[in-house]
Amino acid sequence: MNDRLRTAQVSRSQAVKARLDHPVIDTDVHVNDFAPAIEDYVHQYGGSALVEALRKALGGRFATKSAAGKDWYQQTAEERQYNRTLRAPWWARVTRNTLDLATYTLPDLLAERLAEQGADYSVLFPNDVLSPAAAGSEFRQPLHRAINHFHADLYRKHAHRLTPVAGIPMHTPKEAIEELEFAVNTLGLKVINIPGGVRRPIRAVADKYPKAEHPEVAQHATYTDFFGIDSEHDYDPFWAKVVELGVPVTTHYGSQGWTGRQSISNYMFNHVGHFADGSQAFAKALFFGGVTRRFPGLRVGLLEGGADWGSHVYTHLVDRWEKRNRHAVQNYNPAHADIELLASLFERYGQDLTKGKPVNRETLLRDSLGISALPHSRDPVGDELDDFKAAGIEKVEDIRDRWVNNFFFGSEADDRTVAAAFNHKVNPLGVKINAIWSSDIGHWDVPDLTEPLAESWDLVEQGVITASDFKAFTFGNPYKFYTEANPRFFEGTDIADKVKNRAA
């Protein structure tokens, strides 16, 4: 590299790395694609029509438009208010740091600078991997296939240190399995990224207001299918194939545009916490839908949302199960109320409320409970009484085994809330949540790729996490994530050599 471009001194992260007795695995590096190069691959798969579909998907993945077809920047403030046009992400890539901009676009340069970052091995998430989901159904699969093929070829010579994810569409299990098998068996890719949900039409509305006649209704009359619960499709064949092929699953699933994240003026309002909320919905769907019970070998990395929410949900799954398991929920069954005792207590203590009138035993329970006692067409029965039935929860340890074991939580380098993942005094059964180090370099929150590892070590020096936590965060948990899905994941890589040397 030209001396003018070299860093003048050892980076802070290099200095930290020099003191460590373990490798560092970065689970989340975002890279850019050089448009002419990727479009050549796309053209081979579908000609100019597919190239145009890619361009539209890249331009419209986050953009929201009015009924008149104008995006946010083309609308006046009044039009945004009238149409409730979402303020989408903007200026999301590094630019002033031009060396880093080039690094995220040129694989050889990224491989050369990995030491400056302090990482031994990085899993790459090319930004364009997320784009095909926005394409029409006729373009979605060929776009995924072309983009995955491009990345497999582009990074193959750096496989000992870098590996790109394969983007997998999830609109149907059949489509997902086809692209999974092509990515793994044909291209040799070994990590996948999936959307955490797919928007589908609400059929009762779509039947009344067909999309062709009422596109403005169809745009909003949707629900999100999270693949694990309440889906119109059976995704078990896909999860089975994932486990069979030994593939770690990742997602960068957000919730911008959901209720509470619909500002028409402020991107940050929509952004803060949105990855955590999106991933939480996806993970809960897999848990409550019994996916993690049926597929204990499934390993899912939920990226960019931090790790504290993994601890939060785990804790509240436990306390809610303790109060509302199929036996405990009977504490709230109106049928178990002692009406005579209730009436006698009203007669003794409720004169101010009853104004001296006789207590009506037929309506007393309803009048005391309010909406909870309103008559229903029927009371819930059988499995309807047990929200934890599909998850197969019989004891607290089952929740641990089907939440803590299956899920890994990508936390960015400077995220102080990662401490919650390692707080075994708070987490039920004294466990630590699987936080995995995810630098997120390549996005706006990391203006300098040489800083993240040092920022994570800063948390040790500030007493936020311990040195042992840091080791688990940057090596132990990531290594576990990939190798529990596929014991041979690191064969032929620098990590395998370093682990072998440490063992020796």
Which tokens sit at 304?
């960019």
**DSSP letter (8 states) at residue 447:** S
Query: Using an 8 Å Cβ cutoff, are 126 and 33 in contact?
Result: yes
Q: What is the pLDDT of residue 356?
A: 85
Phi, psi (rounded to 5 degrees) for 238: -70, -50
Q: Taking the CB of residue 373, how many other CB atoms lie within 10 A of it?
A: 15
Which tokens sit at 350?
């409720």
Domains, in order of start, for the chain = 3-81+92-323+403-503 (3.20.20.140), 334-378 (no CATH)
34-47 b/e with 16+ CB inside 10 Å = b?
eeeebbebbeebbe
> For the range 491-497, what are the long-range contacts, defined as Cβ-Cβ under 8 Å and sequence gap of 24 or more?
492/159, 492/160, 493/121, 493/159, 493/160, 493/161, 494/23, 494/120, 494/121, 494/160, 494/161, 495/23, 495/25, 495/120, 495/121
pLDDT tens profile 410-460: 999 999 999 999 999 999 999 999 999 999 999 988 999 999 999 999 999
Work out the mean pLDDT of the chain and round it to a whole number: 92
Q: What is the pLDDT of residue 370?
A: 77
pLDDT tens profile 2-21: 444 554 578 999 999 999 99
> What is the rounded CA–CA span in Å between residue 166 and residue 145?
9
Q: What is the pLDDT of residue 378?
A: 72
Where residue 29 falls among pLDDT bands split at 50, 70, 90?
Answer: very high
pLDDT tens profile 61-93: 545 665 567 888 899 999 999 988 888 888 888
> What is the rounded CA–CA span in Å between residue 298 and residue 404?
12
Query: Using an 8 Å Cβ cutoff, are 413 and 453 in contact?
Result: yes
pLDDT tens profile 202-253: 999 999 999 888 888 888 889 999 999 999 999 999 999 999 999 999 999 9
Query: Using an 8 Å Cβ cutoff, are 229 and 202 in contact?
Result: no
Q: What is the pLDDT of residue 361?
A: 92
Query: Using an 8 Å Cβ cutoff, are 278 and 255 in contact?
Result: yes
Where residue 311 falls among pLDDT bands split at 50, 70, 90?
Answer: very high
Q: Is the pTM of this model over 0.85?
A: yes
The residue to which tokens 């990939």 are assigned = 482
Q: What is the pLDDT of residue 1?
A: 45
